[in-house]
Structure 1
């Protein structure tokens, strides 16, 4: 028996929570799920997610022990990775090359304003 039923939130360190919130909700089209003051944490507890997703990304204040500009290893899904890749290129999101290999879904990575890397692959 497991006592854990789901992955709910993954933290991504950011240097400016307002700038990160604007990027994730504006450029990526995520929904704001929570934005609450958390002074003991050095900022706010902000959670964003794609519409309908059961997992979200917490935009946590970066610190010396949790620096921004990391490879988050977060893999996100898109129904059409090629179209998503072209959209992000067109809108100025820092987007890497679209990778297409036989037998593997198309995928690419992108970077938020702090340089945190996230991945997108076709669902």
Structure 2
């Protein structure tokens, strides 16, 4: 019996949830799906996802960083774009901490970027 049907949400530790929401929504263009107080968790339960997806292709929970769950990690999250080269230039132009665009024969263009806490995310051409 298969008890797991999908991967829904990946938590990313952040030191300032308001700053993280602004980055993920205003800079990356995600939509805010949930922002609920969760004092026992040390902050709020915040979920963002690519605009228009309603989280159906996965979402990111912006969780409060802690000693056991520090910010500034390689999240391993791979996102897709219809045009990685244009996205790369956009993020450079807006001051996002962005690595070089990698373009290898036979491999979709890709690059990595970091949120304000230094959490690494990846973007490749769909």
If the length of structure 1 is used for normalisation, what is the TM-score?
0.98
Q: Does 1:69 align with 2:72?
A: yes
Match of 2:17 in 1: 17
Q: Which runs of 5+ in 2 are unaligned?
A: none
Distance 2:32 2:82 in 1: 21
Distance 1:60 1:117 in 2: 15
**Structure with greater proportional strand content:** 1
1:74-113 matched pairs, under 5 angstroms = 74-113=77-116
Alpha-carbon shift at residue 73 of structure 1 (Å): 0.5
User: SS of 1:99's equivalent?
Assistant: coil
Q: Does 1:7 align with 2:10?
A: no
Distance 2:64 2:111 in 1: 26
Aligned length: 123
**What is the aligned-residue RMSD (CA, Å)?**
0.7
Match of 2:60 in 1: 57
Match of 1:41 in 2: 41
